[in-house]
Amino acid sequence: HVRNYMIGDIVARLKRMQGFNVLHPFGWDAFGLPAENAAIKNNVHPEKWTLDNIAHMKGQLQRLGISYAWEREIATCLPDYYRWNQWLFTRMFERGLAYRRRSNVNWCESCQTVLANEQVVDGGCWRCGTPVTQRELEQWCLRITAYADELLEALDRLDTWPDKVLTMQRNWIGRSEGARVKFGDPVPPGRTRERIAADIEVFTTRIDTIYGATFVLLAPEHPLVERFAAASPDPAAFRGQAARFRAQDRTARLTGEVPKEGFDTGRTAVNPFTGQPVPVWVANFVLVEYGTGAVMGVPAHDQRDFEFAKKYNLPIVVVVQPEDAAAVPLEAATLDAAFDGEGRLTASGPFTGMRAQDGNRRMTEDARSRGVGEGAVQFRLKDWGISRQRYWGTPIPIVHCESCGMVAVPDADLPVVLPKVVEFTGRGDSPLAHVPEFVNTPCPTCGRPAKRETDTMDTFVDSSWYFYRFCDARNDRAPFDPDTVAYWGPVDFYSGGVEHAILHLIYSRFFSRVFRDLGLVKIDEPFARLLTQGMVLKNGDVMSKSKGNVVDPDDMIARFGADALRLYVMFVAPPEKEVEWIDTGLEGAARFLARVWRMVDYLMPVVVSAAPPAGLTFDADERALRRRTHSTVRRVAQDIDPRMHLNTAVSALMEMVNDLYAFADKRGLRPSGRAEDPAAPPAPPPKVDRLETAAVLAEAVNALVLILSPFTPHLSEELWERLGHKNGVVAAGWPAFDEAVAKDEEVEIPVQVNGKVRGRIIVPAGASDADIEAAALASAQVRPYLEGKRVIKVIVARGRLVSVVVS
């Protein structure tokens, strides 16, 4: 976290010095399970635990010198903030974007609460890793799927987002185009299998293979399964098999550990293209929540179906042949794996001979015209289940009334305040349900006794819109003023860990669009630029209390100072990479800052009394130092924004300091190496004869202190003041940079002969290509390599290199 806040702070400080109006806010995402669990464990109220932690961390951030706009500080656990969660929930409820339904939900036994799909990682809880089980519960859901298409399509325009995040979101939304097709009741009498009571609708992306569909598979949870069971000769056995599949460990199923299994329902359905009856089976690998919960089995062209057919001896029919003319035609009898590539259709009635892709289109049309199917788009994205059976979260502002049903709490009655006196058991039923004063309330509509909803909201609701609240953090009439958000929004620069790639960043994109459709914001995408910063590791592991490898920023501040810590963390690697923490690196940063301090402190009398450089005539060394000063001013700014290479910005600062030392050395100026030793004789004061030398030193030192300040604000402010400036580094602004001064006077150009560097020439900057070529060919270093050879070609590359080709 500290690294992330530093990155943002350096950008904010640069932009402020460049004259931008910078909103650099901070808030506390303070609801959630850790506080509640700590409360149970330590017998302290979650609110106290949370507020104490906030106070501690705020002190730490301030000691690090992170320049936050504390007057806009928010904490999501305070009614000032969460009332607007409730307000927004109410708006969504009115629009059908928030709804309640009974469904299977992910349940974490350890956290004793529901998890959203996004919060299930490798079949376990994202927070504690406990394997997730399924429970049937009444759940409030937010209809994120209403925005699925838009959330997907807009990713194409987020061109500054990391590819990784875009890909993860695309996969998560998981759009696939295909068709829904009905496998109907067999009509003709006299079959051995009985008629079923309804068509079975399947979803497929490969309708072109439908002539090879030789069976239909239902998910064990599919509604028809129970109907078939009831009508079967042995309902108990039937139900038992289905129940066994349903009970199979979901985690094992997800990791592919459970073998594919199924059983025959004894029913048939008619393939709407072949007209042939096909058996209907129940299979453990078919997912009820995806598509229609039923699929057609095409063993020749789908590997899962192939394995299933082999295991249960179901017929295999090849309907796509690879187009590769040399290939041996596939035959069902000899097939050892499904062929899922493109090719030409065979044994597909009127579609035979078409390319599979064309067949796909034509067969979808055909199905539609005959009323047996239609094109369909399917998403993997599910609606977002937000009910949590815990205490420390935003109360859901709904009242359940026996006569009026579910009624939203009117805006005037918001916030629904979280009661303070609650018993925490961690048992997994909502703690609020045991607080009668909270639960019992008159129905807002009819006034009769009614009961409040006792679940609280997923804390990701809190973090899905807080960035707009910062723009107008003290507004008590609305979540924010639209004009104010129009001024600030969208967020220009957003940095955080890649762990937010799906959860937070997709929810926020969803909420932004809800606000847009409510007329509160005009933008779609909340975050214009996204940086996913790498984590800081210690001994190859993520720092965590349980591993005992945490580096406490306060310890580092005490030992080396906040500035050294900031400089080191920025220098050690580019922001998006992971870094391994090493103490010696921090020592190096502290050493560098001591070096800066010594030189600036030593030169102070010269700097304070120096003339401005305008109108002076400088010697070569002085011009070189000015060149370094001006080019570093430019480079540091560009390395921060737009390049976001904070590590090379620090390198540039170090190079400048090295040059400053070298220049000073040439002029007999050298600060004492032991400034901290009071017994050491004081260094003689700097003696500078030339007006011009004093001027370039002053220019360099003043600029250095300023351009270092985003990284090392404390050191820079102190030195800046000592250098006789009054109003601080931000008021001073980013130093002006003069292209003419920064430009090299002459350049060294390598000369290659047949691709090898054989010499170097020095030419005035801006020399013409012809002059450079002539100088290269005349060079004493190069000439021996041209003796007796014929020069075929000479290339002068952008004034940077000469390449001579000889035979």
Q: What is the end-to-end Cα distance of the chain in Å, rounded?
A: 60
Shortest reach from residue 212's CB to RNA, in Å: 11
Task: Compare residues 756 and 790 and give the one whose CB is closer to RNA.
Answer: 756
> Residues 602-613, buried b or exposed e (16+ Cβ, 10 A)?
bbbebbeebeeb
**Nearest of 512, 474, 686, 695 to residue 599 by alpha carbon:** 686
Task: Compare residues 298 and 396 and give the one whose CB is closer to RNA.
Answer: 298
Torsion of CA 782, 784, 790, 791, to 10 degrees: 0
Name the residue with tokens 């149970």.
40
Task: Compare residues 365 and 655 and give the one whose CB is closer to RNA.
Answer: 655
- CA angle in degrees (0–180, nearest 5) for 1-28-415: 160
Cα–Cα distance for residue pair 141/432, rounded to 1 Å: 20
Torsion of CA 753, 756, 760, 765, to 10 degrees: 80
Shortest reach from residue 20's CB to RNA, in Å: 22
CB 92 within 8 A of CB 142: yes
Task: Compare residues 286 and 443 and give the one whose CB is closer to RNA.
Answer: 286
Amino acid in position 489: G
Shortest reach from residue 799's CB to RNA, in Å: 9
Distance of alpha carbon 694 from its chain centroid, rounded?
50
Shortest reach from residue 66's CB to RNA, in Å: 23
3-class SS of residue 701:
helix
Question: Rg of the chain over CA atoms, in angstroms?
Answer: 35
Shortest reach from residue 694's CB to RNA, in Å: 22
Shortest reach from residue 216's CB to RNA, in Å: 11
Task: Compare residues 293 and 489 and give the one whose CB is closer to RNA.
Answer: 293
- Segment (H or E) for 2: helix 2-17
Half-sphere CA count of 76, side-chain side, radius 13 A? 25
Shortest reach from residue 174's CB to RNA, in Å: 5
Shortest reach from residue 326's CB to RNA, in Å: 19
Shortest reach from residue 701's CB to RNA, in Å: 16
Task: Compare residues 498 and 616 and give the one whose CB is closer to RNA.
Answer: 498
SS3 content of the chain, % helix, strand, coil (to 5): 40, 20, 40
Shortest reach from residue 201's CB to RNA, in Å: 12
Shortest reach from residue 669's CB to RNA, in Å: 12
Cα–Cα distance for residue pair 739/634, rounded to 1 Å: 9
Shortest reach from residue 601's CB to RNA, in Å: 13
Task: Compare residues 291 and 444 and give the one whose CB is closer to RNA.
Answer: 291
Give the 3-state secondary structure of 616-685.
CCCCHHHHHHHHHHHHHHHHHHHHHCCCCCHHHHHHHHHHHHHHHHHHHHHCCCCCCCCCCCCCCCCCCC
Task: Compare residues 209 and 702 and give the one whose CB is closer to RNA.
Answer: 209
Shortest reach from residue 676's CB to RNA, in Å: 7
Task: Compare residues 66 and 579 and give the one whose CB is closer to RNA.
Answer: 579
Shortest reach from residue 260's CB to RNA, in Å: 5
Question: Could you tell me the two tokens for 165?
Answer: 């995040």
Cα–Cα distance for residue pair 570/592, rounded to 1 Å: 14
Cα–Cα distance for residue pair 199/782, rounded to 1 Å: 85
Shortest reach from residue 659's CB to RNA, in Å: 9
Report the length, in residues, of the chain.
807
Task: Compare residues 137 and 535 and give the one whose CB is closer to RNA.
Answer: 535
Task: Compare residues 258 and 354 and give the one whose CB is closer to RNA.
Answer: 258
Task: Compare residues 167 and 484 and give the one whose CB is closer to RNA.
Answer: 167
Shortest reach from residue 73's CB to RNA, in Å: 32
Task: Compare residues 114 and 286 and give the one whose CB is closer to RNA.
Answer: 286
Task: Compare residues 329 and 681 and give the one whose CB is closer to RNA.
Answer: 681
Cα–Cα distance for residue pair 352/597, rounded to 1 Å: 82
Cα–Cα distance for residue pair 600/605, rounded to 1 Å: 10
- Segment (H or E) for 406: strand 405-408
Task: Please count the other Cβ atoms lying within 10 Å of the Cβ belonging to residue 24.
Answer: 19
Shortest reach from residue 642's CB to RNA, in Å: 10
Q: What CA–CA distances, in Å, run from 658 to 288, 606, 637, 671?
A: 67, 19, 19, 14
Task: Compare residues 463 and 803 and give the one whose CB is closer to RNA.
Answer: 803
Task: Please count the other Cβ atoms lying within 10 Å of the Cβ belonging to residue 223.
Answer: 11
Task: Compare residues 32 and 293 and give the one whose CB is closer to RNA.
Answer: 293
- CA angle in degrees (0–180, nearest 5) for 49-50-51: 95
CB 101 within 8 A of CB 139: yes
Strands 801-806 and 746-753, by their bridges, are parallel
Task: Compare residues 486 and 791 and give the one whose CB is closer to RNA.
Answer: 791
Contacts for 498 with CB less than 8 Å, ≥ 6 apart: 162, 164, 165, 532
Q: What is the DSSP letter of 268?
A: E
Task: Compare residues 281 and 571 and give the one whose CB is closer to RNA.
Answer: 571
Shortest reach from residue 321's CB to RNA, in Å: 19
Cα–Cα distance for residue pair 300/335, rounded to 1 Å: 8
CB 123 within 8 A of CB 131: yes
Cα–Cα distance for residue pair 113/93, rounded to 1 Å: 23
Contacts for 29 with CB less than 8 Å, ≥ 6 apart: 76, 459, 462, 463, 466
